[in-house]
Structure 1
Amino acid sequence: MKTMTPSDLDRIAEAVASAEKTTAGEIVCVLAPEVSDYRETPLAWAAIAALVLPAGALFAGLRPELPARLFGGWTIGHHAALDAAILSALSTYIAVQAVVFVLAALVVSIPPVRRALTPGALKAARVRRAAMEQFLARGLHLTRGRTGVLIFAALAERRVEVIADEGVYQAAPNTVWDEVVADLVAGLKRDAIADGFIAAVARAGQILSTHVPPRPDDRNELSDGLTILPGR
């Protein structure tokens, strides 16, 4: 993750403070390097490899007794030893499966490989869950009038979530938040994280000022600074 400088953090906080001056809404920004370690991904792919590759080798003509022959093993030529041959073949097959499982798990555990092989639907669900957890943890659901908006970015997953509380959701069309997402994604694609958040905050402020105008007795209920979650 690109290092966020104190200047970057100050700029984001100033953008949030400026946007909130025009609305009764509250904007909170959260950045996550990665929302999950996806431990199930290496295990799932290792299990698939252990099931498919040895079976594919059998269909391709490789027999379990072949490794023994290659290393100087003796073949069995009488029926009394058939059970032992079957047991030996099964043992070899299981050993091959175990080796394939371990090797595949190690390869898929490499972070870039793990991320590439994790299904998109699973990553989307984890990011959504992490965003909802932050929405609650930051107290956005407790604001006066339920006018909180969370802008959440998960870098490793390359996903952005914008969650508006019911007071905002009922006032503003749901589609307008796609503009906030687009502004943040544009900055992230350029590796300009601070600029992306600032643009997204400005757009959110415009939306909120239109649909959730400021009240005479407004006060700042939540922190304006960017929250950076610890990496996995």
Structure 2
Amino acid sequence: MLTDQERREIAEAIAAAEARTSGEIYCVLAAQSSEYRETPLAWAAGAALLAPALLLLFGVEISAPPAITGWTVGQLGAAVETAARAALVGAILLQALLFTAVGLIVAWTPLNLWLTLPGLKRQRVRQRAQELFFAKGVHETAGRTGVLVYVSLAEHRVELVADDAVDAVVEQGAWDAVVADLVKELRLGRPAQGLIAAAARCGDILARHFPPGPQNPNELSDAVVELR
């Protein structure tokens, strides 16, 4: 997802930002945050439910044979039952066909992402960022001053998760501006440039509240993590 040169530049930007603060910046670049397996199922089920309406739309009718003179009531009832059964079987087959076809088509990754509800994508990206915040130990810095910058390329979404000490003094609006600018770079196909700028801005924000101490150890790796 990144070239070696871009990886070095991002790591250098993070190191330079952290030199001005006791805070820690950790960047993760993911290809995609979820497979969204429920999306093909939802669209397939919706298409299948439309099958009876499609039959009516195209003029499919249930009727008994036109010549019923001399038929008994039992014969007429059997004919109607046969016609109704045939129509029901046809509807079921059409539903199965629509479910399978739509499910396979929507399962194609670009279409799957496009048809997934924005709210679900936002929730999955946020959930993945929070999971990585703890899995990568960003919450374990001495001063609780870690900040995770999580980028999900397929969704063009960014989540910034700050530890308790940072969250207590930095307003959400400051992070929102960092996220918005990074998303712009993603849409332009420039994730590396976006991360470099985001690291510098995070360093500016952290430096105002958490100046570097006498030792200022580097508690988290400066290398960007790539999740394919």
Any stretches of 5+ residues in structure 1 without a counterpart? 67-73
How big is the alpha-carbon RMSD for the aligned residues of Structure 1 and Structure 2?
A: 1.8
1:217 Cα deviation (Å)? 2.6
Q: TM-score, normalised by structure 1?
A: 0.89
Residue from 170, 173, 176 that aligns with 2:174: 176
Return the index of the structure with the highest Cα Rg.
2
Residue 19 (structure 2) pairs with residue 55 (structure 1): no
Q: What is residue 15 of structure 1 aligned with on the other side?
A: 13
Q: What is residue 42 of structure 2 aligned with on the other side?
A: 44
Structure 1's 61 and 182: CA in aligned 2 closer, same or farther, altered over 3 A?
Answer: closer
Residue from 63, 83, 104 that aligns with 1:106: 104
Residue 154 (structure 2) pairs with residue 156 (structure 1): yes
CA distance in 2, matches of 1:133, 1:191: 26
Q: Do the aligned partners of 1:179 and 1:203 also contact (CA within 8 Å) in 2? A: no
Q: What is residue 97 of structure 1 aligned with on the other side?
A: 95
CA distance in 2, matches of 1:60, 1:25: 64
Q: What is residue 72 of structure 2 aligned with on the other side?
A: none
Deviates most, 105-114 or 74-83: 74-83
1:35 Cα deviation (Å)? 0.7
Q: Do the aligned partners of 2:55 and 2:91 also contact (CA within 8 Å) in 1? A: no
1:150-180 Cα shifts (integer Å, max 9, x gaps): 1111111111111111110112222111121
Structure 1's 169 and 85: CA in aligned 2 closer, same or farther, altered over 3 A?
Answer: same
Q: What is residue 192 of structure 1 aligned with on the other side?
A: 190
* Structure 1 ranges of 4+ moved more than 3 A: 74-78
1:122-162 Cα shifts (integer Å, max 9, x gaps): 00000000000111111011111110001111111111111
Structure 1's 117 and 76: CA in aligned 2 closer, same or farther, altered over 3 A?
Answer: farther
Q: What is residue 204 of structure 1 aligned with on the other side?
A: 202
Q: Do the aligned partners of 1:64 and 1:90 also contact (CA within 8 Å) in 2? A: no
SS in 1 for 2:219: coil
1:75 Cα deviation (Å)? 8.1
Q: What is residue 30 of structure 1 aligned with on the other side?
A: 28
CA distance in 2, matches of 1:82, 1:133: 60
Any stretches of 5+ residues in structure 2 without a counterpart? 69-74
1:113 Cα deviation (Å)? 1.2
